[in-house]
Amino acid sequence: MTDQETVETVDRTHPPAAAPPTVGRAEFDTALAAQVALEKEVTRHDDRVSAARRRLPMVQVEDYVFAGRCGPVRLVELFGDRLLLLVQHVMFDPEWEQGCPSCTWAVDNLPSNMGRLTDEGISFAMVSQAPIEKLQGWAKERGWDHRWVSSYKTTYHYDWGWTQTDDTGTEGQLPGYSYYLLRDGIPYLTYMTTARGTEAILPVAHIMDRTCYGRRQDWEDSPVGWPQEPTYG
């Protein structure tokens, strides 16, 4: 999502006309076993991908000075007293008055108890390109208390490709996550992901995937007659 499209509220209380075929218990168990076998393959492949991720090199990152709720905040300060840092890139163009709807949905997907990340030695922060005043206003409206800093007066978004310019000169932002490691007081980027790579930590999306109707979005490969709507309303 590259602009402030409005996500429509879809009525999901009325049952769709289409539904899975009804079968006996034995036939259901056989079909489910075949599905589980497919998912085991995905799990094992994901383990191999994770193993490769742990073997990625890292790159040193400038100790940017962001704008925070109480004043300037250096990148290294976002680590707190921990060595690992997860940064969520929330799309919020400086000209917008509200955050990106899909990024807002992603923030709402975060664990209700962020202390679970802290227990694992991982700090968390959000960064956006809009001025800090706009971020604070949107956080208040959404009821968020996550640490959220602004890169408005830095080159951070441009340096790392979170804001890009197309062939027409139009700027667009990307959603995603950056993972950092702090060593000897120096921040290093160890991994970053955008687009559908962000889905790995969106529990609601995975819950929807396992219902019979999936996410009900028009890009999904679903049976004929399955309810589907445009992805962004």
Confidence band for 231, pLDDT divided at 50, 70 and 90: confident
Residue 10 pLDDT > 90 = no
Closest by CA position to 126, among listed 112, 43, 108: 108
Can you tell me the distance from the alpha carbon of 67 to that of 78, in angstroms, rounded to the nearest whole number?
Answer: 12
Beta-bridge mates of residue 186 = 183
Global pTM value: 0.87
Residue 5 pLDDT > 60 = no
Tens of pLDDT, residues 29-53 = 999 999 999 999 999 999 999 999 9
In percent, how much of the chain has pLDDT > 70?
94
Burial status of residue 192 (CB atoms within 10 A of its CB: 0-12, 13-18, 19 or more): middle
50 C-beta neighbours (distance < 10 Å), count: 10
Mean pLDDT of 77-82: 97
Tens of pLDDT, residues 147-173 = 999 999 999 999 999 999 999 999 999
Can you tell me the distance from the alpha carbon of 43 to that of 1, in angstroms, rounded to the nearest whole number?
Answer: 28
Helix residue ranges per DSSP H, 186-230: 203-209
The letter for the amino acid at 148 is: W
3-class DSSP assignment, residue 66: strand
